[in-house]
Amino acid sequence: MNKVFLIGRTATDPNIVITKTGKKLATFKLAVHREFKNAEGIRETDFLRIAAWEGKADVVERNLTKGRLICVEGSIQVSTYPGSDNTARVSYEINCKGIEFLDPNPFKNTNQNHVPIKDLPTKEPAIPPTVPPINPSDNFLFI
């Protein structure tokens, strides 16, 4: 089974193209942190190419901008091609089957394409009054 789930931030705005066969393709880079730190104590980041087709490309085109926190469900596609020195090169791409936006869309109901981070709301939403507070003396198992 070839299935991946990736959580990260978009490193680029999407590139939208229509193929020769008339299909819409949206591609973008996703920055994904590795779970471990290197020898210098730094958590490295991988930048993965994501490809979304047809309906998923429409969703990406309407909602995705650089910096959005998303979860991509998909499969890994490996391609080989000859390099400029005729040695075999390998390319990895994630074929997007599903996408979930993990942060609020700052552009919803606006005509803007970009909102500077300093202009984004910083106030956290209030807890609805119907949700009772957690009592520390209760025994909860958090997973």
Q: Which residues are bridge partners to 8 per DSSP? A: 70
* pLDDT per residue as tens digits for the range 62-101: 999 999 999 999 999 999 888 889 898 998 999 999 999 8
Residue 117 phi/psi, 5° resolution? Answer: -55, -35
pTM, full prediction: 0.68
Residue 38 is predicted with a pLDDT of: 85
Q: For strand 69-82 and strand 4-10, is the pairing parallel, antiparallel, or unpaired?
A: antiparallel
4-119 to CATH, choices 2.40.50.140, 3.40.1190.20, 3.40.50.970, 2.60.40.10: 2.40.50.140
Asked if 25 and 43 touch (Cβ cutoff 8 Å), the reply is no
Q: How many CA atoms lie within 13 A of 123 on its CB side?
A: 3
Residue 112 is predicted with a pLDDT of: 46
What are the domain boundaries of the chain? 4-119
DSSP 35-84: EEE-TTS-EEEEEEEEEEEHHHHHHHHHH--TT-EEEEEEEEEEEEEE-T
CA distance linking residue 122 with residue 41, whole number of Å: 30
* pLDDT per residue as tens digits for the range 123-141: 444 444 454 555 555 554 4
